[in-house]
Amino acid sequence: MAAVSSSGEQGAPPGYAALAREAGVFEDRTRQVFRVHGDRALEALNGLVTADVLATEHDVAFPTLILTPKGRVLADASIIRMEGATWLDVPTAAWPELEQHFARYLPPRFAKLEPSELRVVRVRGPLATERERTDPALAALDGPTCSARGGSRWAVRPFLGGFAVRPPEGFDLYLPSDRAHGLDLPAVGEAAWDVFRIENGVPVYGRDVTTENLPQETGLVPERVSFEKGCYTGQEVLARIHYRGKVNRNLLGIRVRGPYVGPPLHPGDDLLVEDRVVGSVTSAAESPVHGWIGLAYVRREVEPGDEVIVRPEGRETDIPAYARVVTLPFGS
């Protein structure tokens, strides 16, 4: 595909035009996939995740969270149930702590995790699910479902020696390494993907979500938490906040106001109202459409539309950047 040079996309990173206008393919190397074995593997996993993975038999994926006993986010994950096989997709950045968590709470006589060679490949873009644009096997997948109390469920089917999952935004493919680049769609680089995911308000574990965060701060609860299932690790804290309390900060968007020379946003930058710190930037990128934008945790008294001052972290500059807090995704 030729580089796009109109509609504000000139100079965009490789692959951005495909994501913005049609469909592109990104190999997400921040994830790793395990096959789950054991006669009681699902029951054991169900006690460690926020989704109800026992709600249906197979050919379904559950986006979920794994929490610490104190209700903090240990990882965002997906559990994929196929006939005769169960898979667990987790962030590589979370694995050191997850490994200790599973060693403590996942009895090996019930469930064992076996590393796989499957790669996570994401198909995204406004035409990603169009039948004339994608593989017929993908187009045949049913769309995702989501309920206010039960969380989300995504359809699954075998595909190219692995399997395909149908989240709301496109497709997630779990493919052997030799098949990961076999799709007839433009490849997307990491820089373009980072712009795209920030534009769409998609947090990534290790940057926008860590064990410092409560689930409700991240915006991930509606899609990844079932309030209809039984007990699981961290449930008490999550439920108490959901039914009785509020969190002090939320993940929102930040858009720098007006043109600016140089990078005005950087992860770690503080956000101020007058002289008071009200938030912190977790991700930042220069969007061909929206200019300099970022994701940030912002105190709940600061509302979308409010203006904040960006205080650089570890960068020498006397020029303040003024930004506006916005709802996610950008352009909504």
Q: Which residues pair with 82 in a beta bridge?
A: 85
- Report the relative pairing of strands 270-273 and 162-165 from DSSP bridges: unpaired
Average pLDDT, the chain: 91
CA distance 216 to 239: 10
CATH of 16-199, one of 3.30.1360.120, 3.40.50.300, 3.40.50.720, 3.90.1570.10: 3.30.1360.120
pLDDT in tens, 295-326: 999 999 999 999 999 998 777 776 789 999 99
Evaluate whether 310 touches 256 at the Cβ level (below 8 Å): yes
Backbone angles phi, psi at 97, to 5 degrees: -75, -35
pLDDT at 6: 29
The structural domains of the chain, with segments of one domain joined by +, span: 16-199, 248-332
- pLDDT digit string, tens, across residues 3-47: 332 234 667 899 999 999 999 999 999 999 999 999 899 999 999
Res 298: pLDDT? 98
Alpha helix positions (H), 47-175: 95-105, 136-139
pLDDT above 80: residue 135: no
Highest CATH level, class, for 248-332: mainly beta
